[in-house]
Amino acid sequence: MWKLYNTLAALLFTGIAALLSFNAMFNILDHEGRCTTQHLTYMCGLYADGKVQGPLCEAMCSKQLTVHSCLSNRPDKQVLHVSWEQREPRNTSRDQPDVILKFVSSWYETVNQPQPLPDTNLNYSYLIERQAHYICMENFQSDESCHNFGLRTVLYADGDSDGKVSQSEFSNMYSLLMQQEFFTLLALNDSESTLDMFGYCGGFYAVQKIDHTCDKIFGRNDHVLDILPPIFTDNINEMLVPMLNQYSEHAAEYLYRNFQQVRVPDWQERVDFITQGFRVLYDFGSQYGTAVRCCDSHLGNYGITDSGRVKYIDMDAVLSTKAALLLLSNRQCETDEDCEIPEYDDCSSKCDTNLGRCRDVMKQNDLHNFCTVTLPHVLLEEPVVQDLAVDKKLVKELWQLVLECRRLPVYTTVEDYREKSIQYVWNKFDRILRDFEAV
């Protein structure tokens, strides 16, 4: 019987290997142009003509660059997994050979706006510092912190490291700052909870590559499906299981043991993730004296580094609370459903039907989302409790903590949010676990 399983597994993996090779080529050479290297090629042409600069340009546009795959199929955003075979002193990613290159097509719109003739009397270093300070104040309203951010941006804007910012460097950096993710990454780059940023070239910028996303680590996917490349459709399970017939369960177990595509995290690993999740929330509330909102918060936007550090990896929808409320307060409404930031349901307020405007107070905060969605999924779902034989009394106390967290008010000051919400729930979570460990 096991010969049949071995044969089945061998045939399956032979086909998968071929599909993986095809899929890698398909990702890079998508015939519809949704995810190709065309923007990268064009940007390197601009660099060769001296029209864009950046500390990453020399390495990005050299023959050392290897493009492994495209990670986004959105026409407005290119995300590439790349590496450099040899790393030179000017390569800002020298300590991170595998990186993610990102590019948003709206960069063209900003950088290609008509520019006045170069004025040698203008101090572009001062101008980009003031622009960065202004954008920062619009988000965080912390004059001292935003002053430091402006000074740091001047150093980033000096792409050729000649000690001054030219007009083209000013235009390039301003275009990058107008992108929400780049601005947030640069503003929070000192935080250990965000991806490290390794420089830019024109409209491209490089960030740390995280191999382990938490939706894959803590999800409960079918073992066989985990080894299939993403070219397969979402309903592949309906196609695959009938094909394997009565051998499907045994085949999955065989693949799991021999190729280790799936490993169920133990209880302590799950607890460590939740603990670090609280740390991420606290860290985001400690940067500029104002809370930062993750408006698209789910397990897939958390990653774990090889050293075990949890980081928030998608900054497209990370805004200061002030910026999020500004987006909402300008919205007219008839019901609460009108008071959501488009595509980001996690940031919402309630409708003041008398005024026909959204209120300037969030309906919930990131801690509420973390307590009611992430924590139960990782620790308290019935399959997890059963598989790991979690003590029923511990499960009950943790559910009570979830309910208590859900009832906490939305504090309007960052100090109250950090200490009376995040720190309070975090400490109680730790205390519950310590009490059960002591028994």
Got the DSSP string for 53-121?
A: --TTHHHHTSTTEEEEEE----TTEEEEEEEESS--TT-TTTT-SEEEEEEETHHHHHHTS--PPP-TT
Residues 386 and 343 in one domain: yes
Residue 7 maps to a domain: no
E strand or H helix that includes residue 393: helix 392-407
Residue 190 maps to a domain: yes
Residue 300 maps to a domain: yes
pLDDT at 78: 86
Q: Averaged over 217-232, what is the pLDDT?
A: 52
pLDDT in tens, 12-70: 333 333 333 333 333 343 434 445 788 899 999 999 998 888 889 988 998 888 888 88
Q: Averaged over 313-336, what is the pLDDT?
A: 86
Q: Averaged over 260-264, what is the pLDDT?
A: 54
Residues 226 and 322 in one domain: no
Cα angle for residues 312, 315, 321 (degrees, 5° grid): 100
The amino acid present at 219, given as its one-letter code, is G
Beta carbons of 83 and 68 less than 8 angstroms apart:
yes
Residues 96 and 203 in one domain: yes
Residues 45 and 192 in one domain: yes
pLDDT at 319: 86
Residue 2 maps to a domain: no
Closest CA to 205 of 241, 159, 160: 159
- CA torsion 373-378-382-387 (nearest 10°) is 170
At residue 228, does pLDDT exceed 50? no
The residue ranges of DSSP E strands in 240-368, in sequence order, are: 292-294, 302-304, 310-312, 318-320, 340-341, 344-352, 357-362
pLDDT category at 11 given cuts 50, 70, 90 is: very low
Q: Averaged over 258-270, what is the pLDDT?
A: 69
Q: Which domain holds residue 173?
A: 32-209
- All residues at 6 or more sequence positions from 329 whose CB lies less than 8 Å from its CB, including other chains: 349, 357, 358, 359, 360
pLDDT at 45: 93
Closest CA to 105 of 162, 43, 28, 54: 43
Residues 185 and 248 in one domain: no
pLDDT in tens, 353-377: 999 999 888 888 999 999 999 999 9
pLDDT at 116: 55
Residue 26 maps to a domain: no
pLDDT in tens, 277-297: 999 999 987 777 788 889 888
pLDDT at 230: 44
pLDDT at 120: 63
Residue 13 maps to a domain: no
The residue ranges of DSSP E strands in 176-270, in sequence order, are: 197-201, 204-208, 212-213
Residues 178 and 293 in one domain: no
pLDDT at 354: 92
Closest CA to 421 of 410, 432, 429: 410
Residues 201 and 228 in one domain: no
Closest CA to 405 of 423, 381, 416, 421: 421
pLDDT at 105: 85
At residue 391, does pLDDT exceed 80? yes
pLDDT category at 204 given cuts 50, 70, 90 is: very high
Residues 357 and 242 in one domain: no
pLDDT in tens, 65-120: 888 888 876 777 888 999 876 544 444 444 447 899 999 888 888 776 655 555 66
pLDDT at 85: 67
pLDDT at 378: 95
pLDDT at 126: 94
Return the CATH number at 351: 1.10.510
Residues 145 and 243 in one domain: no
Domain-ending residue, one of 230, 259, 288: 259
Residues 320 and 187 in one domain: no
Query: Residue 348 — φ and ψ, nearest 5°?
Result: -150, 160
Residue 23 maps to a domain: no
Residues 223 and 150 in one domain: no
Share of the chain above pLDDT 70, in %: 76
Residues 275 and 388 in one domain: yes
Write down the mean pLDDT value for the chain: 79
pLDDT at 16: 33
Domain-ending residue, one of 198, 227, 259: 259
Q: What is the CA radius of gyration of the chain?
A: 25
Rounded CA separation 102/124 (Å): 26
Residue 14 maps to a domain: no
How many domains would you assign to the chain? 3
At residue 393, does pLDDT exceed 90? yes
